């Protein structure tokens, strides 16, 4: 009998949507082969082997579980609130916000056609694509078209948001923080996924081949982002480790803050 790699078998048997989802499920120890947890993508399985995904995701991407951990830890209730999701991508944070009662989520990303079809068709979601996070501050005055055709960017950003969440890659939070805060109401909540691989120095990232494991670097980048938030008018609520690791096994963190002093923003 011909055997195939576990990651391929998960897709061919329709247990996950694609190879990325297969790898994530294996990384998160959600896959069982004949009753035993599998830990390797290359584990070879036969046609008669029983493969089971222990927990089907409640969200369109793993990001939903990360945001949910922050909501639970910091006891944040999104019911009835307007949320801006910066770096929305597939929409894990957006999906989580909706499932926790947000009345509207504006999902912004520099890419195009990334948002899951489930969310694109949801009337509570407004997709703003091909828009750099650093340009959010300009949307309040210049306007920008939304891919969903649900009005203009200026209309969506004319009213500031109750909550701004961010899951960004290949850019430092420091570069987009002022723009994100420009869209946040006084006493609004900011929740950021902090990725040390994009916050460390280039030398540190290169030395670690993109996987930052040094706890000293973890502590430093979280402290620096917390300090930057405070300097721009936020009261830090805290930082926790994400329950799910990022790409390549990177440890990530969730920072929450309340925007109490907009006059301090520079």
Residues 76-134: pLDDT tens digits? 999 999 999 999 999 999 999 999 999 999 999 999 999 999 999 999 999 999 999 99
- Please provide residue 62's backbone torsions phi and psi, each rounded to the nearest 5 degrees: -60, -20
pLDDT over 70 at 265, yes or no: no
C-alpha–C-alpha distance, residues 34 and 37, integer Å: 8
- Please provide residue 241's backbone torsions phi and psi, each rounded to the nearest 5 degrees: -80, 135
Give the count of beta carbons closer than 10 Å to the beta carbon of residue 141: 9
pLDDT over 50 at 214, yes or no: yes
User: What is the band of 16 on the pLDDT scale with cuts at 50, 70, 90?
Assistant: confident
Partner residues linked to 86 by β-bridges: 108, 166
Model pLDDT, residue 114: 93
pLDDT over 70 at 141, yes or no: no
Domains and CATH numbers, the chain: 4-53 (3.10.290.10), 63-264 (3.40.50.150)
Question: What percent of the chain is predicted at pLDDT more than 90?
Answer: 63
Taking CA 77 as the corner, what is the angle to CA 113 and CA 73, rounded to the nearest 5 degrees? Answer: 95
């Amino acid at each position: 009998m011909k055997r195939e790699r576990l990651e391929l078998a998960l897709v061919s048997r329709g247990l996950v949507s694609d190879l990325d989802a297969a790898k994530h499920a294996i990384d998160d120890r959600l896959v069982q082969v004949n009753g035993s947890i599998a830990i390797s993508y290359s584990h070879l399985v036969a046609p008669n082997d029983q493969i089971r995904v222990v927990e089907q995701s409640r969200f369109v991407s793993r990001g939903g579980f990360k945001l949910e951990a922050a909501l639970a830890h910091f006891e944040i209730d999104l019911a009835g609130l307007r949320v801006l999701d910066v770096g929305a991508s597939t929409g894990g944070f957006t999906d989580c916000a909706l499932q926790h009662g947000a009345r509207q989520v504006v999902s912004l990303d520099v890419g195009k056609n990334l948002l899951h079809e489930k969310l694109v068709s949801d009337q509570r979601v407004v997709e703003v694509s091909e828009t750099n996070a650093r340009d959010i501050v300009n949307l309040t005055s210049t306007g920008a078209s939304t891919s969903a055709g649900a009005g203009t960017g200026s209309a969506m950003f004319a009213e500031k948001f109750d909550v701004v969440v961010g899951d960004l890659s290949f850019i430092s939070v420091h570069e987009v923080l002022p723009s994100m805060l420009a869209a946040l109401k006084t006493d609004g909540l900011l929740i950021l996924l902090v990725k040390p691989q994009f916050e460390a120095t280039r030398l540190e990232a290169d030395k670690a081949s993109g996987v930052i494991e040094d706890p000293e670097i973890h502590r430093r980048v979280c402290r620096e982002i917390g300090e930057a938030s405070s300097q721009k008018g936020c009261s830090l609520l805290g930082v926790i480790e994400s329950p799910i690791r990022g790409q390549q096994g990177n440890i990530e963190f969730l920072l929450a803050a309340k925007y109490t002093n907009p006059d301090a923003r520079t």
